[in-house]
């Protein structure tokens, strides 16, 4: 099980008319997070020093701390926050413990709205979170801790029993850590996540991948896909299940030499 963690209520100011403003919140409930146990390491890990040495040879957890200490994450954060709508900029301005590393927008919650998905570095827990923004509800949530994520692939005879998508993202960042130290902006050159119609996306090769047998054509239109390798064209895709208010892992593709 992952460690218990609580994210604070984050108040933001959103424009409403010319003068009025109202509050919105990032909702986080106090519960066991299946997303954070990988960050529990011996006490010596917490003393990892920032140096000019290559990042190779240390854990993903320490790589994240080192990248944060070298201002790699804050550099990406500054570039990306500037591209967001004003109301979402306010969220991150009022969330000093979160560094935005990448984002994607689309009709993720199936309400014909411009929803968002974010990969963020949480400074308090020194770990990655995958967050989603429901534009209709004006609400932020963290996958696994706030919204359940189910994996349909193993029960349908394909895919593997993944731990969490955030762990995959941490691993991918670890693969790129040396390059990110040298030139942080290179991380933004290829998408780390995307909200896409996977039947039309150039990176997703459905016939070569593994798909849940329950998947319909409609499920493919607004999938959130996460790149799981910096070397291969590997992706895992999830879809929103409106009836259950949860996400489902329904497709993956893995290539290797």
**Phi, psi for 17 (deg, rounded to 5):** 75, -160
For 157-210, write each residue's pLDDT tens digit. 666 556 789 999 999 999 999 999 999 999 999 999 999 999 999 999 999 999
pLDDT of residue 154: 79
DSSP string, 186-225: GGGSS-SEEEE-TTT-TT--GGGSEE-TT--TGGGTTEEE
Task: List the alpha helices (DSSP H) in 96-192.
Answer: 165-182
| Least confident range of 19-23, 234-238, 247-251 | 19-23
pLDDT of residue 157: 62
**Phi, psi for 93 (deg, rounded to 5):** -65, -30
CA distances from 1 to 10, 15, 17 (A): 26, 40, 46
Q: Compute and round to an integer the Cα radius of gyration of the chain.
A: 18
Q: Cβ contacts of residue 190 below 8 Å, gap of 6+?
A: 227
Residue 254: pLDDT over 80: yes
Share of the chain residues as helix, strand and coil, in percent rounded to the nearest 5: 25, 30, 45
């Amino acid at each position: 099980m992952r460690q218990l963690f609580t994210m604070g209520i984050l108040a933001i100011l959103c424009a409403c008319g010319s003068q009025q403003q109202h509050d919105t919140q990032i909702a986080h409930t106090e519960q066991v997070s299946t997303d954070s146990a990988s960050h529990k390491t011996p006490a010596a890990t917490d003393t990892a020093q920032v140096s000019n040495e290559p990042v190779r040879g240390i854990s993903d957890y320490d790589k994240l701390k080192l990248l944060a200490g070298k201002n790699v994450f804050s550099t990406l954060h500054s570039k990306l926050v500037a591209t967001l709508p004003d109301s979402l900029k306010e969220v991150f301005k009022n969330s000093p413990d979160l560094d935005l590393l990448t984002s994607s927008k689309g009709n993720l919650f199936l309400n014909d709205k411009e929803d968002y998905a974010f990969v963020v570095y949480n400074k308090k827990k020194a770990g990655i979170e995958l967050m989603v923004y429901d534009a209709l509800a004006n609400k932020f949530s963290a996958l696994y801790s706030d919204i359940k994520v189910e994996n349909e692939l193993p029960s349908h005879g394909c895919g593997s029993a993944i731990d969490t998508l955030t762990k995959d993202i941490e691993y991918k960042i670890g693969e790129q850590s040396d390059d990110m130290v040298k030139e942080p902006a290179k991380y933004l050159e290829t998408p780390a996540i995307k909200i896409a119609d996977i039947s039309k996306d150039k990176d997703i090769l459905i016939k070569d991948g593994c798909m849940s047998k329950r998947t319909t054509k409609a499920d493919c239109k607004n999938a959130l896909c996460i790149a799981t390798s910096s070397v291969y064209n590997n992706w895992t895709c999830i879809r929103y299940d409106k009836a259950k208010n949860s996400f489902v892992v329904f497709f993956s593709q893995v290539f290797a030499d």
